[in-house]
Structure 1
Amino acid sequence: MRISVIVPAFNEEAVIGRCLEALVGQTSPVDEILVVDNNSTDGTAEVAARFEDRGVRVVREPRQGLIPARNRGFDEATGDVLGRIDADTVVERDWSQRLREAAADPTVSAVTGPSWFYDAPLPRANLAAHRLFCHRVNRVLSGYPMLWGSNMALTRECWQELREHVCPGPDIFEDLDLAIHLHRLGRRVHYAKSLRTSVSARRVAGSPREVGRYLRVWPRTFRMHGERRAAAGAWAIHAAVLVPAQPALAMVLRAYTPDQGTLSLGRLFSSDPAVSRPIP
């Protein structure tokens, strides 16, 4: 079984090196790693190119957006299983072996797993929160399993069928869109709890306005697919839980120093732009 991993990237110079180090250091080597540079204006492509002698290939996608970049990577990949992670994802050392084990089941069309924030305190608690909100809540709302874009894979055969059904975006959660269409095609998604990655908390660390705009895409994606009950539930959770909790969460993340594992009032009130974590 050949495994390809696709990493869409737009201006990810600061994080993509760590992502690729984790991929090339797998205990069971990945057969192909594709970085899809989506018109980056920083050094993303240059950082990725440093890994070319370790099995990384840089592909350029001129159409702007995560979905065109993801599709280009899936289309270019040659593996039997097509992994998809984000540029700020750090896979565990046995991730590819766990993926091989999960994908060996011929009834499985897609695989996903949990993540936690590597730049947030209490990793066990935020791993549990991720499992709750990204997988269990979504499954209760929709009635079928979800995919998590920072930690997922499809079989090549599945992608070839799915390709003509996925939505072009741009204002949708692309992993949720994939999960909806997989369900409608009768495809099986397997949640592998041992297929674990860590990601940055930057998507929930911005201003309330930024994060609110980002999270509203969740119910909107359900609604545009005609999933009215799921959309209503997502809006309710967004309004009753996520919006009220976000300011306090953003303060904790801003005060947290990942390298030292400590909270600092100095960071909380710092005007240094390096302390902020913009949403990609």
Structure 2
Amino acid sequence: MIVPAYNEEAVLGRCLEALVTQTVPAEEIIVVDNNSADRTAEVAEAFCEHGVRVVRETRQGAVHARNRGFDEAGGDVLGRIDADTMVGPEWVGRLAESFAPDARTGTRPDAVTGPSWFYDIPMRRTGLVAHRFFCHRLNRLLSGHPMLWGSNMALSRECWRRVRGHTCAQPGMWEDLDLAVHLSRLGLRVRYVDGLRVPVSARRIGASVRDLYSYLRAWPYTYRLHGQRRAAYGAALCLLIGIVLLRPCSLLVRLHTPYDGHLSLSRLFRRSSAVSRPLP
């Protein structure tokens, strides 16, 4: 299991606590510290007695941290989540089951992914429905191939070996979308498993409009980078619509006190502390 992390001391402990208490234990858990300036590495090292291994990647960027983690891993299935993902106790077992051969064709997937919901805001069912649509169904409609969700995905070791040299490292792109594009071009199979759900933080949605736009513009940029003009135009249009729709959601996120379910008006006037990481 690979967890790229950059300045994630506030959420990493919960993530690792969930990973080390799985009903089917993970063979290995690797935290890739990507030049964090806070206590990220210290938080991760506190779990070393539970089998967590900390490696450091000095090249800045999620793609470099992800690649370092996949390269370091020794298992047959290489799982990857974000530092603010809090998987349920059955997640590792379900992930292993998701790589079973298809009952009709007998083929195994090369990669597996699933949806998410937001654990630190109300209306979780609505968040799950929105995530299914915007992250998975809409991207498949735009591009013609499955999407990978960086907070909830896994590749077989052979799949990573084949795709490793094809992935891009340009700044400003979505590394999970880039990976999905190259898997499709290589003819590798991505299996979407709706039951493989994980809760993630909605902190990005609570950011300012400028910060949210700065993050979301990587969506059409990634498609343009790969010459997928139709998908890029569609993503750009959806980005503009999404900014309008997400603004009221942003206010709700900022009002909501994470983890305890309360609303706090004072939070609305605080500067957002959202940090960069992939979200739908």
What is the 5 A alignment of 1:24-39?
24-39=20-35
Determine the structure 1 residue equivalent to 2:11: 15
- Give TM-score, length-normalised by structure 1: 0.94
2-side partners of 1:235 and 1:12: how far apart?
29
Q: For residue 259 of structure 2, what is the aligned residue in structure 1?
A: 259
**Alpha carbons of structure 1 residues 171 and 194: separation in structure 2 relative to 1, 3 Å:** same
Name the structure 1 match of 2:142.
141
Unmatched tracts of structure 1, length 5 or more: none
Q: Is the 8 A contact 1:37 1:45 kept in 2?
A: yes
Aligned partner of 2:242 in structure 1 is: 242
Tell me the amino acid that sits aligned with residue 257 of structure 2: T
d(CA) in 2 for partners of 1:53, 1:145 = 38
Question: Hey, what's the Cα distance between the residues in 2 that align with 1:194 and 1:74?
Answer: 24
Deviation at 1:201, TM superposition (A): 0.9
**Counterpart amino acid of residue 275 in structure 2:** I
CA distances 1:168-189 after superposition (whole Å, capped 9, x unpaired)? 1211100000100000000110
Q: Distance in 2 between matches of 1:267 and 1:48?
A: 28
Q: Deviations over 1:69-119 (max 9, x none)?
A: 110000000000000111111111100011000112252000000101111
Q: Deviations over 1:112-168 (max 9, x none)?
A: 001011111100000110001000100111111110000000000000010000001
Pair 1:104-2:105 in alignment: no
Aligned to 2:207: 206
Partner of 2:151: 150
Deviation at 1:279, TM superposition (A): 2.7
The aligned residue for residue 45 of structure 1 is 41
SS at match of 2:10: coil
Local SS of the residue matching 1:42: coil
Give distance in 2, aligned partners of 1:266 and 1:214.
Answer: 25
CA distance, structure 1, for counterparts of residue 50 and residue 262 of structure 2: 35
Q: Distance in 2 between matches of 1:265 and 1:88?
A: 24
SS in 2 for 1:30: coil
- 2:134 alignment partner AA: F
User: Secondary structure of the residue that 2:204 maps to in structure 1?
Assistant: helix
Deviations along 1:28-54, whole A, 9 cap, x unmatched?
100000000111111111110111111
Query: How far apart, CA to CA, are the structure 1 residues paired with 2:36 and 2:80?
Result: 19
The more displaced of 55-64 and 253-262 is 253-262
Q: Which amino acid aligns with 1:63?
A: R
For the pair 1:89 / 2:85, whether they are aligned, the reply is yes
Secondary structure of 1:202's counterpart equals: coil
* Bigger mean CA offset, 181-190 vs 105-114: 105-114
Of the structure 1 ranges 193-202 and 27-36, higher mean CA displacement relative to structure 2 is found in: 193-202
What SS does structure 1 have at the residue aligned with 2:154? strand
1:278 equivalent in alignment to 2:279: no
**Matches of 1:123 and 1:34, distance apart in 2:** 29
Tell me the SS of whatever aligns to 2:112: strand
CA distance in 2 between counterparts of 1:278 and 1:258 reads 13
- Pairing of 1:117-136 with structure 2 (within 5 A): 117-136=118-137
Amino acid at match of 2:243: V
Measure the CA separation in 1 of the matches of 2:79 and 2:7.
21
Match of 2:104 in 1: none
Deviation at 1:196, TM superposition (A): 1.2
Once residues 142 and 118 of structure 1 are traced to their aligned partners in structure 2, the CA distance between those partners, rounded to angstroms, is 29
Count how many residue pairs are aligned between Structure 1 and Structure 2.
271
Indicate the RMSD between aligned Cα atoms, in angstroms. 1.2
Could you give the per-residue CA deviations for residues 2-42 of structure 1, whole angstroms, max 9, x where no partner exists? Answer: xxx00011111111000000000111100000000111111
Is the CA contact 1:204–1:279 (under 8 Å) kept in the aligned structure 2? no
Instruction: Assess if the C-alpha contact under 8 Å between 1:146 and 1:179 holds in 2.
Output: yes
**Aligned residues of 1:210 and 1:279 also touching (Cα < 8 A):** no
Q: Which amino acid aligns with 1:65?
A: G
Return the letter of the residue paired with 1:169: Q
